Amino acid sequence: MSKIGVFICHCGENISATVDVERVSKEIGGMEGVAHAIDYKYMCSDPGQTFIKEAVKKYDLDGVVVGACSPRMHEPTFRRACAESGLNPYLCEMANLREHCSWVHEKSEETTDKAIDLVKMLVEKVKKNKPLDSIKVPVTKRALVIGGGIAGIQASLDIANTGHQVILIEKDPSIGGHMSQLSETFPTLDCSQCILTPRMVEVAQHPNIKLYTYAELESLEGFIGNFTAKIRLKAKSVNYSTCTGCGACIQKCPVKKIPSEFNAGLGTRTAIYVPFPQAVPNKPVIDRVNCNYYKRGACKICEKTCQVGSIEWDKEDEIITEQVGAVVLATGFDVKGADFFPEYGYGKFKDVLTGLQFERLASASGPTFGEIRRPSDGAIPKKIVFIACAGSRDPAKGIPYCSKICCMYTAKHAMLYQHKVHDGESTVFYMDIRAGGKNYEEFVRRAIEEDTVNYIRGRVARVYEKNGKLIVKGVDTLLGGEQVEIEADMVVLATAGVANCGSEQLAQKLHVSYDPYHFFAEAHPKLKPVETNTAGIFLAGACQAPKDIPETVGMASGAAVKVAALFSNDQLVREPVVAVVNRLAPPLYSTCVGCFMCETACPYNAIEHEEIKGRDGSLIRTIARVNQGLCQGCGTCVAFCRSKSIDIQGYTNEQVYAEVMSLLND
Amino acid sequence: MSSNTVFEPKIIAFVCNWCTYAGADLTGTSRLKYATNVKIVRFPCTGRIDFLLLLKSFAQGADGVIVSGCHPNDCHYTSGNFHARRRWIAFRAILDLMGVDIRRIQYSWVSAAEGSKWADLVNNTVSEIRALGPYTEYQQVADYLEKGGYNGEA
Amino acid sequence: MEKLRGRAAALLADGSVALIIGYEEGTKRPRPLFCRNSESTKKLIFDSRCINNLAVYITKKELVGKDRIAVTASISTLRSILQLYVENQLSEEKLLVLTVDLNGELREFVTFDEISAYVAQFELKRGEREQEILSKIEGMNREERWKFWLGEMSHCFKCYACRSACPLCYCSKCVVEVNRPQWINPWPAPLANMEWHINRAMHMVGRCTACGACGDACPVGIPIDLITRKMMKDMAPEFGYIPGQPAKQGNALSSWKLDDREQFIR
C-alpha cells in the first residue's frame, strides 16, 4: 500500500481563514494509503519544508501532497525539498487550496469539503505517480546564424566571443544587410557604414566564425542541441581562394546597366560585381541571369581580364551539411516599393522614391555621392515632401501594424536634406509622430525646430505630375481638415516594413510559426521575445517585426545569450514531462500499431518511426517513438491514441483517471 | 424547491495548465468569488484531454463538465487547442446522436488574464446545470448492476 | 469470372503472390476464400453478392505472412484499403488488388494512386435501411434518442463481432483490453455497452469508410454501422474531406483548420 504524506498549509491565514485546515488534515489522514497528514502555518518556510523532509524519512513516504498555493507558484520549492530528502521530486504534487479554493469562496462547510476533495484528488494521483528522471540531451556546441545583416552580425560575434563556433550564412554576396545601405543613423547622425564596417570585418576575421555568403538554408532536421543543417552554396562562378579582389573584371564587364540592388535601383552595376565597395568578402560573383556568357554563350571578357584565372564557368551549386546545436534566425525585413501605391503613381514618377532609395541618395557612397539629386533630371530638389505611414497602419492595404522606424528615419531624411540643401523646403505629412526611444523625441523636435522642417498632420490623398512638378494633395487635420497642395520636386514615401519574401517557406523548413504578416512568431510576446516555439531556434532583429538598429542589436545579443546558455552545458537537462510509447517484451514489442495519428497531430515533429527488426535484420514492425529532445509535453498525441499505447509522463492515463475517479467517488 | 434543498450539481473542470489553470489562479489572486461546485483537474494542454474522461465523469456522478483552455492562437503548444476543438466537434455530434445531454458539457476558452471570465463561467455553468437537475438518466445506466436495472425496475 | 480465375491461377503459379483472398460460394451467400494454390482458384467468384469486406484480412500478420498477396476487392474493400494505406498499414510492394469493373472487365491495381483514381468515380450512397432508421432517429427528441439507443444496446452482449469485422479495427490491443486504467469494462452492461459504442464511433471519426461490415456482423442486429456512417457524413463537410474517398491527406481528426466551427465554445 502507498505511504503518502499530506501537508496542509495555512498560508498564514490565506487558507485557514475560509478553510478548516484541521478538518482537512484529519479527514485526509484517514484516507487509505495516507501515512501521515499534518497542517502547518507556512509549509513553504524553512520549518515547513523541514517537516516534509523529516516525514519522508520517518514514515518512508513514497509520495507527497502539499495542499497550499498554486503549483505554478511553489511546485519547484516542494519538489526540491522532496529531492533533498531522497524522494524522487516527481512523486510530489500540490493541491491548489489557495487560488482555487480559499480565496474564491466564503468560509463555509462547502469550502472545506471542496478543499478535502482537491487534496483527495491529488492523493489519488500521487499513488499513480512514478519516479522520473530529468531528460538529458547532448548538445552540439556550434550555432547556425541565418542572415548577415546587423542582427546576424551581432549575434554571430556575441556567440563567437563566448568561445563557441558559429556558422553564418547570408544569401547575398556580402554581409551587411539593410544597415549597410543607410546613410546616417538616427538619433546621432553617425554614418552607418562607419559603425558597421568594422563589425563586418570582425566577422570575416573571427577565428570562431565560418562565413558562407551567397548561401541559403536548404533544410534543417533534428532538434535542440542536435540539428543537421543542409546549406546551399550558390555558385559564385569565381574561385575565392585565388581571387585577389582586384576588381579588374568588374571594370571590364560589358553588361553595365543592371539596376543595383544595393542602391535600391537608383544606380547600376555590372554582371560580375561586388555589391558595394566595403563588401565582406570583397570579391565578386557573377550574376548568371544577366551575364552575357550564361545568356548567350559568348563574352568571357572577365576571364581574359583575370590575372589569376579565378573565373569558374562550370561551377555548380554545392550542398554542404553542418551539425549545429542552435539556430539564430536573423533574416531581416523588406520595404514595400513605390509600385505598391496607386495613389502615388504606382512608382511611375521617377522622383517619387522610397525611404530606402532616399538613404542611397543621401549616402556618400551612393549613386550621387551624397548629393540630393532628382533621379529624373539630376536637378537638386528645392521642395521635397516626405509621406510617413505609406502603407503602414492601413488595414485597407493589409498592413494594420506600425512599421516603427519610419517616423524616425523620416525626421532624419528631412534633416539630412536641410543640411545638404540649405535653401530647400521640406514638408512631412504624418499621422502621429512615434518617437519612443532614447533621444528620439528630442531628435524629431530638432528637425522641426532647428532645421525648420514643416510637419503637417494629415494624409496625402494623391500625388500627380504637372509641368515637371509633383503635385501633392493632402489635408491638414490640425487646421480642421483644410486642403493642402504642394508643388514638390521630389516625394519620399516612408513605405511599410514587411516580412522578407520567402519567410513563410523558411519558417516551414524550420518548423517555426509565423504571424499573419509572415514575420516569425516569438514563443511569448513578453517573456520569450527571442525564443521561437521550436526549442533551440531563436530570433534576432526585424524578421520578428520591424525594429530599429539598437533594438535589433539588443535582440541579437539576447538571442546570443540564449544560445550561449544552451551551450554552457554538455547536456541539456529537461523536465521529464514528455510522451513515451510503451515497449513490451517480444513478440509484442509494443501495443502501438503504427497508424501514426500521433505523428500527424504532433506540433513539434517529435514522433519518429522506429523499425523493429528481427535477428536476421528483417523488418517486423514499424512503431512510433517519441524524440524526447523535441517533445514539449503537450500530450495531444496521448488523447488521439486509440490503443492507449502512448502516454505522457506526469499526466499519465492512470494518473488523470485516478483524479477523476476520486473527485466523484463518495 | 425550498432553499435548503437547492440542488448542488457536481461539476468537474478539465483545464489546461497554461491558460485556464492560470486564469483560475488569477481569479484567486483577484479574490473574485464563485460557487464551490467545480473542481479542477489540471492538464498540460486541452489537446491532452481524452474524451473518455468526460464520459467517465458522468458515469461517476458528475452532473456537468467544463472543458477549458487557451484561446485560438494562444496555445502554449501552438495547436493543442485546435486539435481539441476538432475533437469536441466530433464528440458532441456523436453524443448528440446517442442522446447524451450535451448541454451538460461546457466548452470555453479562458486565458491566463481572464480571471473574471473564469468566475463567470463557473457561476453560469453551475446555475445552468442546476436548472437541468441531476444527470440521473446517465447515472442510472452506470449504476445498473448495483441497483438492479433502470430506475430499479428490472 | 474466367479471366479472374485465370489471372489468379497465373499469379500463384509464377509466384508473384503467395496468397489470394477472394470469395467462393457459401451455403447462403458468398464467403471468403483463401487461395494458396492454382487449384483452389477454380472456386473463385466475384459478383454483387460478395459483400464481405476482405480488407479486414490483409492486416492480419498471421494470415498474410511476409509475402506479397492479392485481394479481390469490391468498392467498399477498395475504400478500406485506401484508408489502411493512409494509416501506414499497407505497402504497395506487398499488395496486388484485383477487381471487376462495371463493364465486367478485370482490373488490376499496383499503386494506391490507381485505386484512389478508380474509387473517385463512385459516389457513396446511403442505403434504404440506413435512410429509414436515420429518418426515424432524426424525428426523435434527445430523450427518445437516448431511450432508443439504450434499448438497442441492451441486446449487445459484447461479442466484439463489430470489431472483428471492421478492417480499421486492427489494433493489437483494443482499448477495452487496456486495464491500467480499465477505461471501459469489457463485459456486457448498459454503461460498458454505451461507452464501447461511443468510443468506437469516436475512434472511427474521419476514418470510417461506410462499408457497413460492423452492422452486418452484429448477431443481434444493432444498427451500429449507422453511428459511424452518420458521423462520416456529418463530419466530412465539417472537416473538409470527401466521404468514401480516403486520400493521403492525413487523418481528418488529427488535423485542424483555423476556422473550424466553434460557436459551441464560450
Tens digit of pLDDT for each residue in A599-640? 999 988 899 999 999 899 989 999 999 998 889 899 999 999
Listed residues C60, C89, C119: the one ending a domain? C119
Structural domain contains residue B4: no
Q: Residue A180 contacts by C-beta under 8 Å, 6 or more apart in sequence?
A: A174, A192, A193, A196, A197, A200, A262, A276, A278
Report the pLDDT value the prediction gives residue B152, as an integer from 0 to 100: 42
- Between chains, do A634 and B56 touch, taking CB under 8 Å as contact? no
Domains of chain B: total:
1
| Domain with C227 in it | 128-239
Three cell numbers written together for A194? 562607419
The 10 Å Cβ neighbour count of residue A447 is 24
Same domain, yes or no, for C74 and C97?
Answer: yes
Instruction: Give CA–CA dist A65/A6, Å, rounded.
Output: 5
Strands (E) located in A345-459: 352-354, 383-390, 425-430, 454-457
Listed residues C93, C119, C145: the one ending a domain? C119
Report the pLDDT value the prediction gives residue A528, as an integer from 0 to 100: 87
Structural domain contains residue B99: yes
**Å between C44 CA and nearest CA of chain A:** 31
- Nearest residue in chain C measured CA to CA from A620: C66
C-alpha A631, offset from chain centre: 20
Structural domain contains residue B118: yes
DSSP A338: G
Q: How many CA atoms lie within 13 A of A633 on its CB side?
A: 17
Q: With an 8 Å Cβ cutoff, is C121 touching chain A?
A: no
Q: Report which residue type is found at A118.
A: L
DSSP of A172-239: SSSS-GGGGG-SEETTTTEEHHHHHHHHHHHHHH-TTEEEEESEEEEEEEEETTEEEEEEEE---SB-
Tell me which chain B residues have a C-beta less than 8 angstroms from the C-beta of C203: none
Q: With an 8 Å Cβ cutoff, is B47 touching chain A?
A: yes
Core vs surface per residue C79-95: b (16+ CB within 10 A) or e: bbbbbbbbbbbbebeeb
Structural domain contains residue C260: no
**Å between C218 CA and nearest CA of chain A:** 22
Same domain, yes or no, for C45 and C136?
Answer: no
Structural domain contains residue B24: yes
Give the closest residue to A170 by CA, choosing from A184, A156, A189, A186.
A156
Tell me which chain C residues have a C-beta less than 8 angstroms from the C-beta of B136: none
- Between chains, do A601 and C89 touch, taking CB under 8 Å as contact? no
Structural domain contains residue C160: yes
Residues in B lying within 8 Å of C, measured between beta carbons: 51-52, 55-56, 59, 72, 79, 82-83, 85-101, 106-109, 121, 137, 141-142, 144-145, 150
Would you say A173 and A275 are in contact if contact means Cβ atoms under 8 Å apart? Answer: yes
Tell me which chain C residues have a C-beta less than 8 angstroms from the C-beta of B121: 266
Q: Residue A554 contacts by C-beta under 8 Å, 6 or more apart in sequence?
A: none
Structural domain contains residue C244: no
Report the pLDDT value the prediction gives residue A179, as an integer from 0 to 100: 97
Report the pLDDT value the prediction gives residue B146, as an integer from 0 to 100: 58
- Between chains, do C253 and A640 touch, taking CB under 8 Å as contact? yes
Report the pLDDT value the prediction gives residue A453, as an integer from 0 to 100: 96
Tell me which chain A residues have a C-beta less than 8 angstroms from the C-beta of C255: 600-601
Q: With an 8 Å Cβ cutoff, is B55 touching chain A?
A: no
Same domain, yes or no, for C9 and C88?
Answer: yes
Walk along chain C (266 residues) and give the pLDDT tens digit of each residue.
789 999 999 999 999 999 999 999 999 999 999 999 999 999 999 999 998 999 999 999 888 888 899 999 999 999 999 999 999 999 999 999 999 998 989 999 999 999 999 999 998 887 888 889 989 999 999 999 999 999 999 999 999 999 999 999 999 999 999 999 999 999 999 999 999 999 999 999 989 999 999 999 999 999 999 999 888 888 888 888 887 787 766 688 998 988 899 999 99
Same domain, yes or no, for C134 and C73?
Answer: no
Instruction: Give CA–CA dist C231/C207, Å, rounded.
Output: 10
Same domain, yes or no, for C113 and C133?
Answer: no
Three cell numbers written together for A227? 540539428
Q: What is the CATH number of the domain that holds C216?
A: 1.10.1060
Name the A residues in 178-207 with CB < 8 Å from any B CB: none
Q: With an 8 Å Cβ cutoff, is C198 touching chain A?
A: no
- Between chains, do B98 and C198 touch, taking CB under 8 Å as contact? yes
Three cell numbers written together for C24? 467462393
Mutation test of the interface with chain C: which of B97, B128, B136, B138, choosing the one with the most C Cβ atoms within 10 A?
Answer: B97
Structural domain contains residue B153: no
- The end-to-end CA distance of chain B, in Å, is 30
Q: Low-confidence residues of chain A, pLDDT below 70?
A: 664-666
Would you say A470 and A367 are in contact if contact means Cβ atoms under 8 Å apart? Answer: no
Same domain, yes or no, for C85 and C24?
Answer: yes
Tell me which chain C residues have a C-beta less than 8 angstroms from the C-beta of B58: none
Q: With an 8 Å Cβ cutoff, is A244 touching chain B?
A: no
| Domain with B69 in it | 11-147
Instruction: Give CA–CA dist C167/A312, Å, rounded.
Output: 60
- Nearest residue in chain B measured CA to CA from A114: B36
Would you say A64 and A7 are in contact if contact means Cβ atoms under 8 Å apart? Answer: yes
Structural domain contains residue B2: no
Structural domain contains residue B34: yes
State if pTM tops 0.95.
no
Taking each helix axis from N to C terminus, what angle separates C142-153 and B80-98, rounded to the nearest 10 degrees?
A: 80
Same domain, yes or no, for C136 and C98?
Answer: no
Domains of chain C: total:
2
Kindly report, residue by residue over B93-104, the tens digit of the pLDDT.
999 999 999 999
Structural domain contains residue C134: yes
Task: Calculate the dihedral angle through the C-alpha atoms of A253, A258, A262, A265, rounding to the nearest 10 degrees.
Answer: 150
Same domain, yes or no, for C112 and C6?
Answer: yes
Report the pLDDT value the prediction gives residue B151, as an integer from 0 to 100: 47
Largest CA distance in chain A: 97
Would you say A408 and A435 are in contact if contact means Cβ atoms under 8 Å apart? Answer: yes
Instruction: Report the phi/psi class of residue C104: left, alpha or beta, with left for phi > 0 and alpha for psi in -120 to 50.
Output: left
**Å between B109 CA and nearest CA of chain C:** 7
Instruction: Give CA–CA dist A410/A348, Å, rounded.
Output: 22
Instruction: Give CA–CA dist C153/C189, Å, rounded.
Output: 9
C-alpha A569, offset from chain centre: 23
Q: Is the peptide bond before C181 cis (omega within 30 degrees of 0)?
A: yes
Structural domain contains residue B152: no
Instruction: Give CA–CA dist A582/A600, Å, rounded.
Output: 19
**Å between C248 CA and nearest CA of chain B:** 19
Kindly report, residue by residue over A347-375, the tens digit of the pLDDT.
899 999 999 999 999 999 999 999 999 99
Q: With an 8 Å Cβ cutoff, is A603 touching chain B?
A: yes
Instruction: Give CA–CA dist A653/C63, Å, rounded.
Output: 33
Kindly report, residue by residue over A211-246, the tens digit of the pLDDT.
999 999 999 988 889 999 999 999 999 999 999 999
DSSP B63: S
Lookup result for grid cell 481572464: B114
**Closest in A98, A114, A636 to B39, CB measured:** A114
Q: Low-confidence residues of chain B, pLDDT below 70?
A: 1-4, 145-154
Report the pLDDT value the prediction gives residue A573, as an integer from 0 to 100: 86
